[in-house]
Amino acid sequence: MKFQHKVVFITGAARGQGAAEARRFVSEGAQVVLADVLDADGEALAAQLGGHAIYLHHDVTSDHSWSAAIAETERCFGRCDVLVNNAGVYRPAPIEETSEAMIEKMFKVNQLGTLLGMKHAAASMKKTGGGVIINISSIAGLRGFANAVAYSGTKWAVRGMTKVAAAELAAYGIRVNSVHPGFIATDMLKENTDEVNRIGADAAPLKRHGTPEEVATLVAFLASADSAFITGAEVAIDGGWSI
């Protein structure tokens, strides 16, 4: 039970990769806070996970919501040991069809949300002597990804902010790493055409999409003491797509 007595806060945990991570952490003994704006899905998952998880309605784009969510985590479980900044939105479009509303939405959820999460979780972790932050970026944050200029901009920012935070927070015993999934079989792939998703599998040397459970295994490793000497790293989990 690697995460016994550990408290893990996961954004975007109602479905997809965040939900798989929540199941994984609970199976290894953690107490998990599921945070999302999809209340019905989040509450149903928390009920499945029994007394080991609570669901919080939490919009990652709001500084006030972050204050309240971390305060509630400390009230319920006493501490916050791990933050997984997983919430994300993806709206692909060619550059000239990228609207201001799309740019703002992806900036706020993917980039601002990740920064606010690090700000509030780090303040909590400093009080208990350390912790781990895992920021979910993308292969779109490792190389050029056509038809995703706004999304890619936010995911490159997540990669860069991870390194700043790793440098700044190491002195407080807080490790920060970024994870870069390739095509992972979740609802997010519905934003792509079937053709793009087919190419996503074909262009990966391992010739398939990944599963949320495979990403959860990597996130659990990065959250555990097994990765104690890893900080500021960027880890791709993409079947080789980004090579």
Ligand X SMILES: NC(=O)c1ccc[n+]([C@@H]2O[C@H](COP(=O)([O-])OP(=O)(O)OC[C@H]3O[C@@H](n4cnc5c(N)ncnc54)[C@H](O)[C@@H]3O)[C@@H](O)[C@H]2O)c1
Size of the site for ligand X (CB under 6 A): 29
Q: Which amino acid is at 138?
A: S
Q: Report, in Å, the least distance between residue 226 CB and ligand X.
A: 22
Per CB under 6 A, which region of 6-14, 119-127, 142-150, 165-173 contacts ligand X? 6-14
- Nearest residue (CB) to ligand X, 128 versus 197: 197
Token code pair at residue 184: 């992972």
Among 68, 170, 189, 233, binds ligand X (CB under 6 A): 189
- Choose, by CB under 6 A, the member of 44, 89, 102, 196 that binds ligand X: 89
Residue 10's alpha-carbon distances to 15, 25, 93, 97, 163, in angstroms, are 11, 10, 28, 32, 20
Taking CB under 6 A as the binding criterion, the range among 2-10, 13-21, 93-101, 170-178 that sits at the site for ligand X is 13-21
Among 55, 90, 151, 172, the active-site one is: 151
What is the smallest separation between the CB atom of 2 and ligand X, expressed in angstroms? 22
Residue 188 binds to ligand X (criterion: CB under 6 A): yes
**Parallel/antiparallel/unpaired status of strands 234-237 and 82-85:** unpaired
Where do the DSSP E strands lie in the chain? 7-11, 31-36, 53-57, 82-85, 131-136, 174-181, 234-237
Cβ proximity to ligand X: between 18 and 131 the closer is 18
With beta carbons less than 8 A apart as the criterion, state whether 61 and 39 touch: no
User: Is 195 one of the binding residues for ligand X (CB under 6 A)?
Assistant: no
Is residue 151 part of the annotated active site? The answer reads yes
User: Which residue number, 145 or 172, has a Cβ lying nearer to ligand X?
Assistant: 145
Q: Which is nearer to ligand X, 142 or 166 (CB)?
A: 142
CB 34 within 8 A of CB 17: no
Tell me: does residue 11 bind ligand X (CB under 6 A): yes
> Binders of ligand X among 90-149, rule CB under 6 A?
90, 109, 136, 138
- The contact pattern for ligand X, residues 19-48, with x = CB under 6 A and - = no contact, is -----------------xxx----------
Task: Please report the DSSP string for 164-208 in residue order.
Answer: HHHHHHGGGTEEEEEEEE-SBSSGGGGGS-HHHHHHHHHTSTT-S
Number of H helices, E strands in the chain: 8, 7
Closest CA to 28 of 224, 227, 243: 224
Binding site for ligand X (CB under 6 A): 11-12, 14-18, 36-38, 58-61, 86-90, 109, 136, 138, 181, 183-184, 186-189
Active site residues: 151
